[in-house]
Amino acid sequence: MPYRNLSLRRRCEMILGHMDLTHPFSLDTLCARIADRRGRPIRLHPLPREAAESGVCGLWVGTDTVDYVFYEAHTTPLHREHIILHELGHILFGHHSLEGEEIDGQTPVVLGRTNYTTRQEQEAEMLASMIRIHTSGTGHPRTAPGPRGALARLESAMGMGYERGRHDGG
Ligand SMILES: [Zn+2]
């Protein structure tokens, strides 16, 4: 990527700058726009139970023609939305997806396991959070702290080892 050396926040802003986020925020509209741009549909699916039980909360699986975003369904709507935004973050940053194979139009069989770098996880997580913050003006008034404060907290949190909401200092 040409802007690989820019700060994480700048890189997210550049991606968001190319997106026309709607007010109020609609996840479906966002998915449709990204799909449109990529020329591939994005389908949202609850995670298969085995995956959810292994502690995964979201997955992006690409087949030849479709991008599937799997999300942990047994959680709050807000958390579910964040999981999906995180996976969309991986898509928007152009990370690699897990490979999947559709058999008879069923939900795809997943080949392989997630193996993103810490940097890629930070990118996806930051983008997810920034989409939330950018759209929170009208979409989620009760869950929206001031954009500045939220971003500052986010950035300081991301300065440490970051993985799925856990700070392990790594
Ligand atoms: Zn991730």
Q: pLDDT class for 156, splitting at 50, 70, 90?
A: low
> Is 43 in a helix, a strand, or coil?
strand
Q: Residue 52: its pLDDT value, please?
A: 78
Q: Residue 95: its pLDDT value, please?
A: 95
Residue 139 CA, ligand 1 centroid: distance in Å: 24
What confidence tens digit (pLDDT) does each residue in 71-110 have? 999 999 999 999 999 999 999 999 999 999 888 777 788 8
Residues 6+ away with beta carbon under 8 Å from 93: 11, 15, 120, 123, 124, 127
Residue 95 CA, ligand 1 centroid: distance in Å: 10
Q: Token match 């959680």: residue? A: 75
Please name which of 94, 43, 89 lies closest in space to residue 67, comparing C-alpha atoms: 43
Residue 90 CA, ligand 1 centroid: distance in Å: 7
Average per-residue pLDDT for the chain: 81
Residues that place a CB less than 5 A from ion ligand 1: 121, 124
Beta bridge partners, 98, equal 61
Residue 56 CA, ligand 1 centroid: distance in Å: 10
CA-to-CA distance for 164 and 56, rounded, in angstroms?
Answer: 9
Residue 105 CA, ligand 1 centroid: distance in Å: 26
Residues 6+ away with beta carbon under 8 Å from 160: 167, 169
Q: pLDDT class for 167, splitting at 50, 70, 90?
A: very low
Q: pLDDT class for 160, splitting at 50, 70, 90?
A: very low
